[in-house]
Amino acid sequence: MTHRLLFVCAANVCRSPSMAFFFANALGEGRDDWSIESRGVRGTRPRRMCDSATAFIADRPAGVEFAHEHRAAPLTAEDVLAADLIIAASREERGGVARLAPDARDRTFTLREALALSEVGAVRGSSAPQATGEPSPTLADFARLLDARRGRLAEPATARRLRGPLRLADPQDFPDFHSESRRRHRAMLGELRAAVDELETRVVGFLGMTPALPSGRRGSAEA
């Protein structure tokens, strides 16, 4: 069974391809049962990744190759329907997914929302060893768990600072920082990487997968 994960931002040139790369990189090599893609709700041209994102991932294994090969692609209803879990950079893009495919609301979350709903205590025990003959948990099961917890947790009043002082317009968003300074843009990418790494850790734990070794935290992503 293939786990299908889709990351979404506005133009698919910075946040969503970066998220796809960070997740695949953390997941490690040899994960042929994963499809990790990225799309843009407003992407219309096959543009390359932005310079800031390209420079940021260049120090990671396969980062240069990933950035060189990436071309922005627009989000389609088919992309949404095929995904088991959809992670949006912000509420605006989450809304764009919902407008395109309303039935996908139950498996579409912002990145910060997914982290809030999958706190360690919330998913601990969900990935307990399965009884003989019982199916293993899937990424779709993880999405269902997050959806079931909606409404039970208070929304964060302030942004959770995963790395560095970064003020956000909305506590659930990783906003587009292309109009900001290069330093501020890089700070956002640093927080984005930390958040995606944490999400990958929780997903792997839920699925009962063997985590990648620190020296092997590499991989590629389809985008």
In-domain check, residue 126: no
- Residue 214 counted as domain residue: no
In a domain, 134, yes or no: no
Average confidence (pLDDT) over 150-165: 57
For residue 176, is it within any domain? Answer: yes
- Angle between helices 182-207 and 139-148 in degrees, nearest 10: 100
Per-residue pLDDT tens for 173-191?
998 877 778 888 999 999 9
pTM assigned to the model: 0.85
Averaged pLDDT score across all residues of the chain: 85
Who has greater pLDDT, 117 or 176?
117
Overall domain count for the chain:
1
Residue 81 located in a structural domain: yes
- Residues 120-139 pLDDT 10s: 555 544 544 455 567 899 99
Q: Which of 17-21, 141-145, 160-164, 208-212 has the lowest mean pLDDT?
A: 160-164
User: Residue 122: its pLDDT value, please?
Assistant: 53
Domain membership flag for residue 100:
yes
Given a cut of 80, whether residue 168 has pLDDT beyond it is no
The per-residue pLDDT for 219 is 40
pLDDT for 130 = 52
pLDDT at 109: 98
The predicted model gives 23-40 an average pLDDT of 92
For residue 59, what is the domain's CATH number?
3.40.50.2300
User: Per-residue pLDDT for 75 more than 70?
Assistant: yes
Asked if residue 132 belongs to a domain, the reply is no
- Is the residue at 160 inside a domain? yes
Instruction: Quote the domain boundaries for residue 204.
Output: 3-121+140-208
pLDDT at res. 165: 46
- Using the predicted structure, report yes or no on whether residue 160 has a pLDDT greater than 70: no
User: Secondary structure of the chain in the HEC alphabet?
Assistant: CCEEEEEEECCCCCHHHHHHHHHHHHHCCCCCCEEEEEEECCCCCCCCCCHHHHHHHCCCCCHHHHHHHCCCCECCHHHHHHCCEEEECCHHHHHHHHHHCHHHHHHEEEHHHHHHHCCHHHHCCCCCCCCCCCCCCCHHHHHHHHHHCCCCCCCCCCCCCCCCCCCCCCCCCCCCCCCCCHHHHHHHHHHHHHHHHHHHHHHHHHHCCCCCCHHHCCCCCCC
Q: Is the pLDDT assigned to residue 214 strictly greater than 90?
A: no
